[in-house]
Structure 1
Amino acid sequence: MKIIALSPSFSKNETLQKEFLTFFPDGILNTEGKRFSEPELIAHIHDADAIIVGLEEINDQILSACPNLKIISKYGVGLNNIDLDACRKRGVQIGWTGGVNRLSVAEMALGYMLMLCRNLYITSNELKNGIWNKSGGFQLSGKTVGIIGVGHIGKELIRLLQPFGCTILVNDIIDQSGYYKKHNLIEATKEALYAQSDIVTIHTPLDDTTNKMINRAVFEQMKSSAFILNSARGGIIDENDLKFALQNRLIAGAAIDAYIEEPPSDTELLTLPNLICTPHIGGNAIEAVEAMGFSAIHHVREYFNL
């Protein structure tokens, strides 16, 4: 039985290495941190019985080259990088636990909000360059926060926001009216949410309905004093339109953790002073990394009754 872990962050974590090799002593880890091209990936996993994937793209062509593959276990929560229809067609099982890193991502989103509202990011960078800017921004408390996507992470963020007394507008494709009523949330159309929110934060998957969902038309609907956050998936925000919006002050600022291309190469976007950009670390708190890794190992063990 051949079991391969592809994710570099999984493979380099000593706790997860020990757990992985305890149950799969002949397993293969990606300790060199290699990012595989499609031909390299096929050559690496063509005879694997199970793989643990992070952000690696697994499409039908790759699956067709892996006749022994029985299970793909997800290190993380998003499944948009795996062709689920192709897996079903080929009888490849998916090992996945939703929301395993919810607190890690929600805490970062809250951190973004505080940094942007209180002007912490801009003034810190300016002070390092000798600029003494006393502009302290505004308080998060009492402001209007719009949350698009009220799943595991959205709900965790709502819990963390409770002490701040914010008005919270929510939008989701699933009817959750009972939950909204219980937590004093206001269900809103996307258009109303964009127009009324001081902060808009995205917590949806990336699919055909959300690809470039946040674009110039959306920025033009938002308050010029508002902020937008994306700690979900790259591609939900049109990055060229975001750059235009920040450069032309259609909105006051933004924070993004996920990109269409990773790592991103648009230095003009990345160096904008009113953009916080982090290297896709929302789910990478130590506790979340280990929880995601243990979950991925568990699904493989469960499949093979180990």
Structure 2
Amino acid sequence: MKVLVTPRSFGKTDPGLFDRLKDAGLEVIRNETGGILDEAAMKKLIAPCEGVILGVDPMNAAVLDAAPKLRAIAKYGVGLDNIDLSACEARGIRVSRTVGANSDAVADYAFALMLGVARRVAFIDRRCRERDWSKITSIDVYGKTLGVIGLGAIGRRVARRARGFDMRVLASDSVWDEDFAVEQGIERADADRICRECDFITLHCLLNDETRNIIDERRIASMKPTAVLVNTARGGLVDEAALLAALKAGRIWGAGLDVFAHEPPEDPDWYILNNVIMGSHCSSSTAGAVNLMGTMAVDNLLRDLGLPL
């Protein structure tokens, strides 16, 4: 029985995860490209497989059609927007997630991006490497207002971290937990108010028809000139053309982006801006989170293929 493993970080710190798959009698096909697979590569590699441990590579109807034997998809993460769930349901393909495995890692990275963008850390570092020791004035984080769009497992952890910075927190979520909000002193607000009032805005919601381009040109235009936008969720949540225009014009302070609609982004202007910190979709890539995601994904795949754990 063959299975495909696509995530770049799977098994990197714990090669024993591959041994577990092999010991279960599985022949493992690896992603050897060092990057995210495109549709053509996915169709070729997945054709003989009955299972897949999947990263952010496409699992659309065309890819599924190329995999007639496929029975189980173990998502290495929580976002399912790259999977055609309707097609999976129609075929009886089981889909699982590694819920909670990377929440703290992503929350840490989101806060790192807030701090890094606010204090111009990457820009100052580059200047210093050029032997330029001039002072760079940046903006404060402590005591400011944070907006969290998506108060799920990761958003909650970001909100908790904000308490250590004595931040006022506004948040929105499609399923509101009033008890948690009261306990953490969080104010409920819609995306419009968050974009208008908050000094820092961080995205932690799923990508779907309701949230696609939730940060659009209008909402970007309403942000403070000192606002910082952070996205560690999905690139499709942001109108990237509108954001890029605002950053180039200096209409907001900056952005920390670990995700893009197309990765890596194609517009060369992203690479020359000093008010952006970019990440390679790596917010969940800590040793602890990678190991836990890998273990959970293997457990889920073996279970859904009817093999012993």
For Structure 1 versus Structure 2, the TM-score category normalised by the shorter chain is over 0.9
Superposed, which structure 2 residues align to 1:112-151 within 5 Å? Answer: 112-151=113-152
Shift of 1:239: 1.4
Q: Which residue of 1 aligns with 2:272?
A: 271
Mean CA deviation greater in 227-236 or 209-218: 209-218
- The aligned length equals 306
Indicate conservation of the 8 Å contact 2:52/2:72, yes or no.
yes
Unpaired segments ≥5 residues, structure 1: none
Aligned mates of 1:193, 1:32 — CA distance in 2: 40
Task: Return the TM-score normalized by structure 2.
Answer: 0.93
- 1:249 and 1:179, CA in 2 relative to 1: closer, same or farther beyond 3 A? same
Deviation string, structure 1 residues 199-240 (Cα, Å, up to 9, x no partner): 011111111122222122112111101111111111211111
Shift of 1:250: 1.3
Deviation string, structure 1 residues 252-271 (Cα, Å, up to 9, x no partner): 11110001111222221222
Task: Return the TM-score normalized by structure 1.
Answer: 0.93
Shift of 1:146: 0.5
Unpaired segments ≥5 residues, structure 2: none
Mean CA deviation greater in 25-34 or 237-246: 25-34
The residue identity in structure 1 corresponding to 2:287 is I
Aligned mates of 2:33, 2:60 — CA distance in 1: 23
Superposed, which structure 2 residues align to 1:88-237 within 5 Å? Answer: 88-237=89-238
Higher relative CO (Cα under 8 Å, sequence separation at least 6) belongs to 2
Shift of 1:281: 0.6
Superposed, which structure 2 residues align to 1:16-31 within 5 Å? Answer: 16-31=17-32
Indicate conservation of the 8 Å contact 1:12/1:30, yes or no.
no
Q: For 2:105, what is the secondary structure of its paired residue?
A: helix
RMSD value, Cα? 1.8
Q: Which residue of 2 aligns with 1:6?
A: 6
Shift of 1:126: 2.2
Identity of aligned residues (%): 31
- 1:135 and 1:38, CA in 2 relative to 1: closer, same or farther beyond 3 A? closer
Aligned mates of 1:69, 1:300 — CA distance in 2: 12
Deviation string, structure 1 residues 73-94 (Cα, Å, up to 9, x no partner): 1112211100111100110000
The residue identity in structure 1 corresponding to 2:46 is I
Indicate conservation of the 8 Å contact 1:283/1:289, yes or no.
yes
Aligned mates of 2:135, 2:185 — CA distance in 1: 35
Aligned mates of 2:132, 2:157 — CA distance in 1: 37
Indicate conservation of the 8 Å contact 2:81/2:207, yes or no.
yes
Indicate conservation of the 8 Å contact 1:148/1:200, yes or no.
yes
